[in-house]
Amino acid sequence: MPIDMIQIQEVIDNFPGLSIKKSLKKEKIISGKFELNDSYNGIRMVDDFEIEITIHSNYPEILPKIKEIGNKIDPKYGHIYLDRSLCLATEGDMKINLFPNFKLIDWMNNYVIPYFYSYSYYKKYNGVYPFGDRSHGAKGILEYYVEFFKVNKLEEAREYLKIVSKKEYKGHYLCPCGSGKKIRNCHKEKIYKLMNPEYCTFYKDDLNMILEEEKNYD
């Protein structure tokens, strides 16, 4: 599948410090200076980073990978993978939020900019995260689904994932959130969204990772 050059050009137009570094059959690599100038709750962060973004030919099924290549981010910062790519969010988070009309510019605006804003804020304010901080591994994935389903407990989020994974939606059952309402009068829309075939692989991968990690703790 050819990579959408219109989407790449849109990113370059909006972030003029970036340009195409390599154009290969299976991937495109854009790199250069990423200039941060963003605010949250009235606090503005201005900074710049050298970055490299790899876009696979199977995009958007395979999400872009981004690295900070200027050695500006502290290696001890928790949200970096072993290959030095940046942990922007869980894969399920990005795919569920941006699909089915995934656009590179939306990925930049919704995940890349907040990542660098959060890091700059974290450094300036001695380890404080402006948007909060999710855990790593299965717990972090469940924390995303707590936000997605708008519930309070990890166990409740896990129950919703099991329902949609096994296609065991019963609208007359009591909702796992503990509201006392039937599912059809409570979390029906969220459940239906994930049961859509376009989204099934996203949450199933997350659920498998959760169950595998929990099994290792038994």
Q: Answer whether 20's CB lies under 8 Å from 12's CB.
A: yes
Judgement on whether residues 100 and 158 belong to the same structural domain of the protein: no
Q: pLDDT grade, residue 1 (50/70/90)? A: very low
pLDDT tens string 41-77? 999 999 999 999 999 988 888 899 999 999 999 988 9
Judgement on whether residues 16 and 112 belong to the same structural domain of the protein: yes
Residue 29 lies in a domain: yes
Judgement on whether residues 86 and 191 belong to the same structural domain of the protein: no
Question: Domain of 155?
Answer: 137-217
Phi, psi of 181 (to 5 degrees): -90, 160
Domain boundary among 89, 124, 159: 124
Q: Say what the pLDDT of residue 26 is.
A: 87
Residue 90 lies in a domain: yes
d(CA 138, CA 74): 24
Judgement on whether residues 29 and 120 belong to the same structural domain of the protein: yes
Q: pLDDT grade, residue 218 (50/70/90)? A: low
Judgement on whether residues 87 and 184 belong to the same structural domain of the protein: no
pLDDT tens string 28-51? 999 999 999 999 999 999 999 999
Bigger pLDDT: 73 vs 203: 73
Question: Residue 21's closest CA among 33, 7, 6, 10?
Answer: 33
Domain boundary among 65, 98, 124: 124
Residues of the chain with pLDDT > 90: what percent?
Answer: 57
Q: Is the pLDDT of residue 217 over 60?
A: no
Bigger pLDDT: 160 vs 50: 50
Q: Is the pLDDT of residue 216 over 70?
A: no
Q: Is the pLDDT of residue 197 over 80?
A: no
Q: Is the pLDDT of residue 3 over 80?
A: no
Phi, psi of 56 (to 5 degrees): -75, 155
Judgement on whether residues 119 and 152 belong to the same structural domain of the protein: no
List C-alpha distances in Å: 10 to 7, 158, 195, 208: 5, 38, 32, 35
Judgement on whether residues 26 and 76 belong to the same structural domain of the protein: yes
Judgement on whether residues 53 and 79 belong to the same structural domain of the protein: yes
Domain count for the chain, please give it: 2
Which residue's entry shows tokens 């959130």? Answer: 177
Domain boundary among 64, 89, 124: 124
Residue 131 lies in a domain: no
Region 99-122: what's the mean pLDDT?
95
Question: Residue 108's closest CA among 202, 28, 12, 6?
Answer: 12
Judgement on whether residues 109 and 187 belong to the same structural domain of the protein: no
75: CATH: 3.10.110.10
Q: Is the pLDDT of residue 215 over 60?
A: yes
Residue 117 lies in a domain: yes
Judgement on whether residues 167 and 78 belong to the same structural domain of the protein: no
Q: Going edge to edge, which strands form the sheet with 43-56?
A: 18-23, 27-40, 43-56, 65-68
Q: Say what the pLDDT of residue 2 is.
A: 59
Which residue's entry shows tokens 């919704």? Answer: 110
d(CA 134, CA 87): 11
Judgement on whether residues 34 and 77 belong to the same structural domain of the protein: yes
Helix (H) / strand (E) element for 106: namely helix 104-107
Judgement on whether residues 84 and 163 belong to the same structural domain of the protein: no
Find residue 55's DSSP bridge partners: 28
Residue 112 lies in a domain: yes
